[in-house]
Amino acid sequence: MAVAKGASLNHVSRESSDVRRLANFYKEIFGFEEIESPNFGEFKVIWLNLPQAFSLHLIERSPTTKLPEGPYSAASPVLDPSHLPRGHHICFSVSNFDSFVQTLKDKGIETFQRSVPGRPIRQVFFFDPDGNGLEVASRDE
């Protein structure tokens, strides 16, 4: 399994109606580790950590929330990674890009790949189970 590395932020939070499902996805795909999280009583939280990178806080979504799960969730009319807009995703780097992309394909995750013209950067875009956009980049030198 490829492990994502290096990020320039401390933590990101996501709401989900199924925090366990989302936690399992990030642990399996990126190698996040589940860490101790506080008990808030009225809602569940799961905190995940990517060593040497950042933490991901998964927060149980309030049942009164009327918005879709993620900005481009399964409830959205278009769930196409080739149309993931700038600024609406989290980006990771991996040590073995080709192996990571193959893992996504083996798991049946729909992806969109591209290379940055004139630069040694390859990217793959995809969604987590709640429709949050993800990018994984490799800077092949």
pLDDT by residue for the chain (141 residues), tens only, comes to 444 544 344 777 888 888 999 999 999 998 999 999 888 888 889 999 987 777 888 888 877 766 555 544 445 544 566 666 555 678 888 888 999 999 999 999 989 888 878 888 888 989 888 888 888 888 655
> What's the pLDDT score for residue 90?
80
> What's the pLDDT score for residue 67?
53
Whether pTM exceeds 0.85: no
Minimal CA–CA distance to 127: which of 72, 87, 68, 78? 72
Minimal CA–CA distance to 43: which of 79, 17, 80? 17
> What's the pLDDT score for residue 1?
43
Distance of CA 7 to the CA centre of its chain: 13
